[in-house]
Amino acid sequence: MTQAPVTSPGERRRHDREIVALAVPAFGALVAEPLFVMADSAIVGHLGTAQLAGLGVASALLMTAVGVFVFLAYATTSAVARRLGAGDLRAAIRQGMDGIWLALCIGIAAVAVTLPSAPSLMALFGASDTAAPYATTYLRISAFGIPAMLIVLAATGVLRGLQDTRTPLYVAVGGFAANAALNVLLVYGLGLGIAGSAWGTVMAQWAMAAVYLSVVVRGARKHGASLRPDGPGIRACAQAGAPLLVRTLSLRAILLIATAVAARLGDAEMAAHQIILSLWSLLAFALDAIAIAGQAIIGRYLGAGDARGARETCQRMIQWGIATGVVLGLLVMVTRSAFLPLFSEDSGVRDAALPALVVVALVQPVCGIAYVLDGVLMGAGDGPYLARAMLLTLAVFTPVALLVPTLGGGLTALWGAMALMMAMRMLTLWLRSRSGRWIVTGATR
């Protein structure tokens, strides 16, 4: 077991400045991402209920598919930050290019699968007869934006690894503005309907990818890094990302199981669950921003061979996670009664949600620790352990959640199972952080 390092007030302030400088812009970029779907929904919603329903099904499928490949950002951040810490900026950017090429390959494969299977996918996801044609149209057009979205993920990882979270914020905000303007022009100005919304989003996504690529290419040319695809490098990126893919799929499975159980509890409970899940996602953005800072900072310290700096940062980030979790928990507790009427006037929905929100509030400090340690271990390139830990968490959560309809307790019990899941995540990650086995220094792990 490793002991927590003793840090001076000056060192703590230095760590705080680093964390804030990276986490605040990262939070802004994370919040900007779901605004794409919100803007599309607001614009398409005026076309009709069937069009909006079609957009909902298609966008849910797209966001799930892209979310599965978030490892393109996580693995790239860690690898680039390590090489930056080792003082080899040329190799750092070269590593980033390998991640971008991998993203392009996956994106092309996704387009090839999505185009012919769009009608079947819409039927599988339960689109109604009236919504299915709109959903299929939106999905087929939007598929051409998948490579751009994956390139954005990988390029975001490159910039985070280079300790730059401001550029992703600017690109995200610019992309949101362009998406909204293009949607209005194409949907209403040119009368293209839901197809116009899809084309507007695709154009905005490729514009974002182009901006990212210009930044990375400029850096590559400045430091003499090759832009050509490198087979071994791309395979290495895929191998590094595979455990994080397992981790992400396990987490997605937990959320799907929770939603399936909530649906079995009744319509009011399902509606309340959806409201709470939206809030849960918003709270996660704040905690994930700190985790992103951890990925970048930890990777840089380990690449520089500074094990003590990595331990100090880990310890300070745990404190940040606890403090942020306490603040978020208090906000949820204080505002929960005022928050719910914004989403539903149904007393049954509010009655189901209010006690469950108490559980959400109480578990936020635990979430804070889990999220930041997740970021620390990602920054260390400890993907295989993260995959095993999440599979174990899934194995613990699943039977507990599935017993909720049988044993009673309703939605509060289900969110109690979610709290148990977060406690399990925290425990497994805390034990790993205490062991010190994640501390592997050098330009590569």
pLDDT given at position 1: 43
pLDDT given at position 5: 54
pLDDT at residue 287 tops 50: yes
In the Cβ-directed half-sphere of 293, how many Cα atoms lie within 13 Å? 28
117-149: pLDDT as tens digits? 888 887 776 666 777 888 888 889 989 999 999
CA distance 255 to 248: 11
SS3 content of the chain, % helix, strand, coil (to 5): 85, 0, 15
- Highest mean pLDDT pick, 92-96, 271-275, 323-327: 323-327
- Highest mean pLDDT pick, 55-59, 214-218, 259-263, 426-430: 426-430
Comparing 162-166, 173-177, 341-345, the range with the smallest average pLDDT is: 341-345
Question: Is residue 362 within 8 Å of residue 329, measured between CB atoms?
Answer: yes
pLDDT at residue 27 tops 60: yes
Dihedral angle of Cα 7, 434, 324, 74, to the nearest 10 degrees: 110
430-441: pLDDT as tens digits? 999 999 999 999
pLDDT given at position 7: 62
pLDDT given at position 104: 94
435: nearest Cα among 393, 365, 373: 373
pLDDT given at position 340: 78
For helices 347-379 and 410-435, what crossing angle results, to 10°? 10
User: 87 or 32: which carries more pLDDT confidence?
Assistant: 87
Average model confidence (pLDDT) for the chain? 87
300-354: pLDDT as tens digits? 999 999 999 999 999 999 999 999 999 999 999 999 888 778 776 778 888 888 9
pLDDT at residue 34 tops 70: no
Question: Is residue 66 within 8 Å of residue 149, measured between CB atoms?
Answer: yes
197-210: pLDDT as tens digits? 889 989 999 999 99
Dihedral angle of Cα 115, 120, 121, 127, to the nearest 10 degrees: 120
Average pLDDT (96-123) is 90
Judged by DSSP in three states, 225 sits in coil
User: 356 or 40: which carries more pLDDT confidence?
Assistant: 356
Which residues fall within 8 angstroms of residue 318, CB to CB, at 6 or more apart? 369, 372, 373, 433
Average pLDDT (239-265) is 89
Query: Tokens in use for 69?
Result: 């490949």
Taking the whole predicted model, whether its pTM rises above 0.75 is answered as yes
pLDDT given at position 44: 75
Average pLDDT (405-432) is 94
pLDDT at residue 2 tops 60: no
Which residues fall within 8 angstroms of residue 427, CB to CB, at 6 or more apart? none
Q: Is 241 exposed, middle or buried (0-12, 13-18, 19+ CB in 10 A)?
A: buried
pLDDT at residue 3 tops 60: no
pLDDT given at position 127: 67
CA distance 143 to 151: 14
